[in-house]
Amino acid sequence: MWESLAAQVAAHGYTLARVDCGTANGMTDPATRTVRVRPDVDRAQALKTLAHELAHIECGHTADGFDYTGCRGRAEAEAESVAYIVTAWAGLDSGAYTVPYVAAWSGGDTAVLRAAAATVTAAAGRILAHLDGDGEDDPEPTSPAGQDASGALLVAA
C-alpha cells in the first residue's frame, strides 16, 4: 500500500522523502512539491501519515489560492478524515489517534465536519480507486495511537 500511495503522490508531481519533519509526522510543501514523512515513526504511523499528506493534495489544500493559514482547522480535519478512511480500508485502526486529532482541529464544531464531508468522501474515493489491494506491502494492522501530531502542511511564505 505504501508504494501505491507513493505513486499517487508522484502522479501529482510531488517528490516523497522520509526525512525529519520537526514535531510533525509529515509535511506537504506545495512550493517545492515535496511530501515528507518522518523516518523514525513505525510503519503503521508512516502509512497513515502518507495517506494524510496525499489527502492534503487530493482535497485541494495545496492548490494555488487555497488559504491554508486561514483554513488550517478545516484542512487538517479533512486530511486526517481521509487518512482514516484510507487506512481503515487497509485494516489499520487509527481511531484512537484520529478522533482526538480531528476533534481538536475542528474545534469540536460538528458544522465543520458536516461541511467537510463531501470533500472527504470524494478525496478518499479517488485515493482508494487507485489502490491495487494486493496487500504485499501493507503494514500489520495496528494503531498509531500515542504518536505526536500527524501532519502539518508547510506553507511557503
Average pLDDT over residues 87-95: 92
pLDDT of residue 68: 85
Sheet hosting strand 15-18, strand order edge to edge: 15-18, 34-37, 26-29, 152-153
Determine if residue 110 is left, alpha or beta; phi over 0 gives left, psi from -120 to 50 gives alpha, anything else beta: alpha
- Determine the average pLDDT of the residues in 44-68: 95
Distance CA 144, CA 43 (A): 9
Neighbouring C-beta atoms of residue 125, cutoff 10 Å: 13
* Beta bridge pairs of residue 15: 34
pLDDT digit string (tens) for 2-43? 999 999 999 999 999 999 999 999 999 999 999 999 999 999
pLDDT tens, 94-144? 888 899 999 999 888 888 888 899 999 999 999 999 986 544 444 443 434
Q: How far is CA 104 from CA 99, 135, 156, in A?
A: 9, 32, 24
Averaged over 45-72, what is the pLDDT? 93
Number of DSSP helices (H) and strands (E) in the chain, helices first: 5, 4
